[in-house]
Structure 1
Amino acid sequence: MAWHDGTVTAPLTPPHQPNPHDPWQNPPSGSHLAPAHGSPDDPDTATELRQAALVTVLVALAGIGLGLLWLWLAPRVPLVSDGSAVFLQNSEGEEAIGADGTFVLLAAVFGALSAAAVAWRLRRGGVLVVVGLALGGVLGSLLGWRVGVWLGPSSDVVARAREVGKGVVFDAPLELHAVVVAVLVWPFVALALHLLLTAAFGVREPEPAWVGEGWTSYYGEPGAGVPPGGPPAGGQGGS
């Protein structure tokens, strides 16, 4: 407070006024954490829903490739007819078990590939995207199973035996005996690998930024930048 010609004037600058460019001072009352919006690595709910739907569709459609590979690689089960009944040509063969094993191995490979593709394309593993990946894996397994059965040997064994004749060897229908286990392999492998990839290479959460009236932060706030010359040395506010 100063005297000038009998009048009292107050100082223009209040004492102990915080420096708005000091990143180390305590946040004022009423400040809050400012999330970053609009970043492709931090999508909003609508964007994440679209991403999850796209992931579900593309992963499910990959099941067509699973079915074709299963049909190509699965061992065949040879059957033979004596004119009145149909028998296994080799009663001790393990071809039927081999078909299940081939499907499981292929499903695991497809699960790993789909998880790697999603983790590479969408670096942040949102909950909806993970759900889409799991659902797509289940649908892809079901689609692959049905494609293999549909394109494989006829499921009407009696008609096929009559068609080829007595004593002629023909292939049994392509079947899955452990359907539930085989269908769940893809989503389980995809979820486990996706979790590992996002933990190892995913986008890290930014440092929280306090924003409020009279407060500026250099960390995490959209559009914020370091003023020319850098932040004040030693975290001390200027006068």
Structure 2
Amino acid sequence: MTAPLTPPHQPHEPSSENNPWQVPPAGPGPSSMYAQRTAKDEAAAAAERRKDLRDSALILVAVTLAGVALGLLWLWLAPRVPLISNSEGVFLKDTEGEEAIGADGTFLLLAVGLGALSAAAVFLFRRSGGIALVVALAVGGLLASLLGWGIGVWFGPQRDVVAHAREVGEGVTFDAYLDLGAKGVLLAWPVAAMLVHLGLTALFGPRDPEPDWPEAPPAPPQ
């Protein structure tokens, strides 16, 4: 008998083909492809956030400046409260008049209409919507209401009723200063804008694609 060429106590060296601990070959693999895809997704998300912030700032400024139109329209259309003075003081000429309530109602209707128009304009500008755009629309509507209120009061009749009565003379009718009796109407613009924008988004906004459901397997034979 001849002895074996390889002693039984000598371990057999595995080849590179059978070695489970060998270094993986260089080149693109699943991990590198996942890292590239994640980096691209993060860059796209950052670009989308910058675009949302830029559009939101533009909407906030545009809607706020629209309050100038609200103030001028309110100054033009709001009914005036007639006053008259005598030697004893200043009084309402028509004690049963509803001009003060009419001023609040005019502001309310104008704010609701302009709020709906601003919501439609924002929806046409960005159909995809977004939380930042809705917040900018609401905050801009509130600022627009405050701006319109200030313009109407500033450019309306003077607020010093006694000085105005002395200026026009006794027995002469003059207009009281323009103001809001119910400050809650300042919320009409943002509330109307958000409701209209929500309705337009629900009716005409982009829809998510329907998932592809797998077909049902055929029924087994009876």
TM-score by length of 1: 0.69
| Corresponding residue of 1:130 | 134
| Corresponding residue of 1:94 | 98
Letter in 1 for 2:195: A
Does structure 2 conserve the Cα–Cα contact (< 8 Å) formed by 1:83 and 1:165?
no
Q: CA deviation at 1:204?
A: 2.2
What is the aligned counterpart of 1:162 among 163, 166, 187?
Answer: 166
| Corresponding residue of 1:141 | 145
Deviations 1:188-220 (CA, angstroms, capped at 9, x unpaired): 000000011011111223568xxxxxxxxxxxx
| Corresponding residue of 1:113 | 117
Letter in 2 for 1:195: L
Q: How many residues align?
A: 176
| Corresponding residue of 1:191 | 194
| Corresponding residue of 2:185 | 182
Does structure 2 conserve the Cα–Cα contact (< 8 Å) formed by 1:78 and 1:170?
yes
Question: Which residues of structure 2 form unaligned runs of 5+?
Answer: 1-33, 212-222
Separation in structure 1 between the aligned mates of residue 179 and residue 200 of structure 2, nearest angstrom: 34
Letter in 1 for 2:89: A
Letter in 2 for 1:143: L
Deviations 1:107-163 (CA, angstroms, capped at 9, x unpaired): 000100000000011111100000000000000000000000001000010100000
Deviations 1:92-116 (CA, angstroms, capped at 9, x unpaired): 1000000000000000001000000
Letter in 1 for 2:112: A
Separation in structure 2 between the aligned mates of residue 199 and residue 36 of structure 1, nearest angstrom: 28
Letter in 1 for 2:165: A
Q: Are residues 1:72 and 2:70 paired?
A: no
Separation in structure 2 between the aligned mates of residue 38 and residue 45 of structure 1, nearest angstrom: 9
Separation in structure 2 between the aligned mates of residue 201 and residue 93 of structure 1, nearest angstrom: 45
| Alpha carbons of structure 1 residues 158 and 71: separation in structure 2 relative to 1, 3 Å | same
The RMSD of aligned alpha carbons is 2.5
| Alpha carbons of structure 1 residues 120 and 105: separation in structure 2 relative to 1, 3 Å | same
TM-score by length of 2: 0.74
Letter in 2 for 1:190: A
Secondary structure of the 1:109 match is: helix
Question: Which residues of structure 1 form unaligned runs of 5+?
Answer: 1-29, 209-239
Tell me: higher relative CO, structure 1 or 2? Use CA pairs within 8 A at least 6 residues apart.
1
Secondary structure of the 1:71 match is: helix
Letter in 2 for 1:44: E
Letter in 1 for 2:186: V
Separation in structure 2 between the aligned mates of residue 36 and residue 203 of structure 1, nearest angstrom: 23
Report 1:41-60 matches (<5 A).
44-60=48-64
| Alpha carbons of structure 1 residues 45 and 146: separation in structure 2 relative to 1, 3 Å | same
| Corresponding residue of 1:25 | none
What is the aligned counterpart of 1:202 among 192, 195, 205?
Answer: 205
Separation in structure 2 between the aligned mates of residue 55 and residue 112 of structure 1, nearest angstrom: 14
Separation in structure 2 between the aligned mates of residue 45 and residue 185 of structure 1, nearest angstrom: 29
